[in-house]
Chain A
Amino acid sequence: MKLLKYNKIAVLALISTTLFSCGSDDLPGESQLDFTQPEKTSLDNWIDGTYLNPYNINVQYKWNQNTVDNSRFLFPPAVDKVKPALEIVETIWLKSYAAIGGPDFVKKIAPREIVLVGGVNLNSVGTRTLGLAEGGQRVTLFETDYIDQTDRANVSEFIHTIQHEYIHILNQNKPFDEKTWKTLTPGGYTADWYNYEIPESNELGFITSYARSNINEDFAETASMILIYSKTEYAAFLAGIQSPFALQALKAKEAIVVKYFKEAFNMDFYALRDEAEKNTTSVIN
């Protein structure tokens, strides 16, 4: 019993010496990592002033392999194309949402990073990926080298990409009514959507062929296409649909989009469309 007692004390003593020994080690010094920031160009300063400071959005145009798919053959944008691309994004997306959703709307729900890629992201089946939205945090925009502000079709396609990807970001924050959406055109979804002409897909109740890839893309395509159409253009589009089933499906999808914006974000979707149209015109002219 006594032995046990002494043992206990000895063990305690040994443990404490173990814990406190080697205490003469040097305290960690200065970090060895290089934290010096690269010198900022006027473009970098403009990005800071337009995106980083007001919206807390980081814009990355210099190559960083960690933010792009290494299996794709892509390249960074030409430096002189970065500002025009970002101006379009700012005017049509940031300003439109700020005007309708309130100045803080995009500050709260926005990708924290925009990655610009200069080249085309060509898929092996021949389709091009125009943009990516990941985890509600990052939007990647491709083909920025080809932006031509004097060409309406060209700018429209780029704007479509932004609107489309932002709808994904919104969905990734607050889901839409997927249950109802699923019941509208369940038979039309297909992995080889790119083999179909757009008018053919329209007659099945899809706004584009890409909308047929799955319901998330369908929602993003429906919302973003209505946003880039003007009110009269969209009315003309609906008037051209022959199939009554397709027309009804398109209208039902539109209603879900409008309801989503109202219920999830308290925004008037039609007002947003009108604002986007106004800003689009100002960019192109």
Chain B
Amino acid sequence: MKMKQLYKYLFAAILILQLTACNNNTDAEQLFNETPTARLNQQKSELNDALLSSQYGWKAVYFTDNTVLGGYTHLFRFADDGTVQMASDFDADTKTYKSEYAIQVGSTVSLTFTTKNRIHLLSDSNNYPIPALRAKGYLGDFQFLYYGQENGEIIFKTNRNNRELRFVKATAEDWINLPQNLEMEKNVIGGEERPLFRLLETNDGTTVHKFDFSFTAVTRFANSNSIESGYSVSYNMGIGYTPTGIVVSPAVEVGGQKLSDFTYNDADGSFTATGTGGVSAVIKYTAKPLVLTDDYKFLLPGQPLAWFGFFVDDYTIDSPANSSLFYAELEKVNAALPAGQSIASIQIYGNHSIGTFIYYTFVGRGALQHHVTIEEDAVGKKMILKHKSWNGNTTVATPAFLASIDKYFMDPEGIYVKAESFRLFYSDPVYTFTSASSPFRMTTWKLQ
């Protein structure tokens, strides 16, 4: 009986199977008409056709990781024999080199640069810009997964860290003008004659916000933080160079608009990105520190002894806050001194028992004291040093070898003093002295 029942059920089951099998009328939606293999093959030829379709090849500004690094522009011209001509602005060598590429099918269709060329410079474990990227190079990839096309651009995602990379059609000018990217880099770094302070100013059509702006050339990366209290917005961005300016990633978002293309203005060294409706972002120079401090007050008359020192043979010489002009002036002093003599330190004593003075010491000759009086510019938050005497002798002229460097301390516009947040090896606080009318800045320890 049991057996019989079992057969019944089996009979019914097989009957159902019979009746429903071989039925072509499926109601399920057909997502794809082709087999996966056919679709992969189709994608492969689609990518291959696209790569070969552009007369002057393709351009990609490759931001390998826009949280630490900037963009590296690459130009590619693909040929149907599996070779590619490539140039990049990774370094000064912007010449074009030939190598091989392949369209590989793995989990998806990808473009791989299979033999060595410029793009591999971003993926050299032994060549890294900062210690944090040790063994990681510039975090670059050279296998790009194909994600389709949009507005004539080819969309890829990098194999290793899944970042979007777009190939846009290159022009004949792109190839000719590539070396200009590195000329533009000099403008992003900023020339010696430019002011020392830089800011990013955003305007959403009604409100203006200001951010400090500091650029690191080795990583092509800029940090930009709000200087307004109670407004803690940061725009940290990777920077790529173009012949006319820069392209940034992530874009600076102002008033809901994303600004990424900045145009350089050589007159004032600024970079401007303009949106619609009065929206803009400008990276520009300013002669005045963005945030003025009261740190100069240590040196005003009536205060206790204050002692600041810069030393040629100590960590103060390596301070990133020293300006190029300051170094150039030190060189000038040494060049003007007889052989075997050189400047050793510049110290500033405020309210010492013998007065307030700049104390210059040397290797191979005696020290000199430049006695001064200090006046306060309370509105401009700076101090103005006025000549009194050399070593107490009011009739002696300024020694010729010190005349050039000394005049920056005697800047009639005054000197800004700032307590820096960084330290130079020792725990002593670090202070900088900046001339108000020129890019002259010296780093010191506050020794008392």
Contact = CB atoms under 8 A, between A and B. Distances in A.
Given A70-B160, A120-B124, A63 B137 contact: no
27 contacts: A3-B4, A4-B7, A7-B7, A11-B7, A11-B11, A11-B14, A14-B11, A14-B15, A18-B18, A21-B22, A22-B22, A32-B35, A33-B37, A38-B102, A63-B115, A65-B106, A65-B159, A70-B160, A73-B137, A74-B123, A75-B123, A76-B116, A76-B120, A118-B120, A119-B125, A122-B126, A122-B134
Interface string A29-70: 000111000110000000000000000000001111110001
A180 interface: no
Contacts of A122: 125-126, 134-135
Contacts of B22: 21-22
Given A21-B21, A122-B135, 11 more contacts: A7-B11, A11-B14, A17-B18, A21-B22, A22-B21, A39-B82, A61-B115, A73-B123, A118-B120, A123-B135, A124-B134
Interface in A75-105: 75-79
Given A32-B35, A75-B123, A18 B142 contact: no
B125 A39 contact: no
B302 to A, nearest CB: 55
A120 B14 contact: no
B233 interface: no
Contacts of B142: 63, 75
Nearest to A127: B135
Contacts of A108: none
Contacts of A74: 123, 125
Given A72-B125, A122-B134, A18 B17 contact: yes
Contacts, number: 109
B69 to A, nearest CB: 13
B433 to A, nearest CB: 39
Contacts of B44: 34
Given A4-B4, A38-B82, A63 B113 contact: yes
Interface of B: 3-4, 7-8, 10-11, 14-15, 17-18, 21-22, 35, 37-38, 41, 44, 81-82, 99-100, 102, 106, 112-116, 120, 123-126, 134-137, 139-140, 142-143, 159-160
Contacts of B10: 11
Interface of A: 3-4, 7-8, 10-11, 14-15, 17-18, 21-22, 32-34, 38-39, 61-66, 70-79, 118-124, 126, 128, 145
B82 to A, nearest CB: 6
A97 B255 CA distance: 72
Given A22-B21, A65-B159, A120-B126, A73 B82 contact: no
B159 A73 contact: no
Contacts of B113: 63
A119 to B, nearest CB: 5
Contact of A7 (B8, B18, B38, B159): B8
Contacts of A77: 115-116
A119 B159 CA distance: 19
B139 to A, nearest CB: 7
Contacts of A123: 135
A78 B116 contact: yes
A118 to B, nearest CB: 6
A10 B18 CA distance: 12
Contact of B114 (A7, A32, A62, A119): A62
Given A14-B18, A63-B143, A70-B160, A124 B135 contact: yes
Nearest to B134: A124
Contact of B115 (A32, A33, A79, A128): A79
Nearest to A25: B22
Contacts of B18: 14, 17-18, 21
Contacts of B4: 3-4, 7
Contacts of A38: 82, 102
A70 to B, nearest CB: 6
A83 B264 CA distance: 47
Contacts of A10: 11
B160 A75 contact: no
Given A18-B21, A32-B35, A76-B115, A70 B125 contact: no
Contacts of B14: 11, 14-15, 18
B268 to A, nearest CB: 40
Contacts of A66: 106
A10 B136 CA distance: 70
Name which of A17, A21, A32 has the most chain B CB atoms within 10 A of its CB.
Answer: A32
Nearest to B119: A75
Name which of B17, B106, B115, B134 has the most chain A CB atoms within 10 A of its CB.
Answer: B115
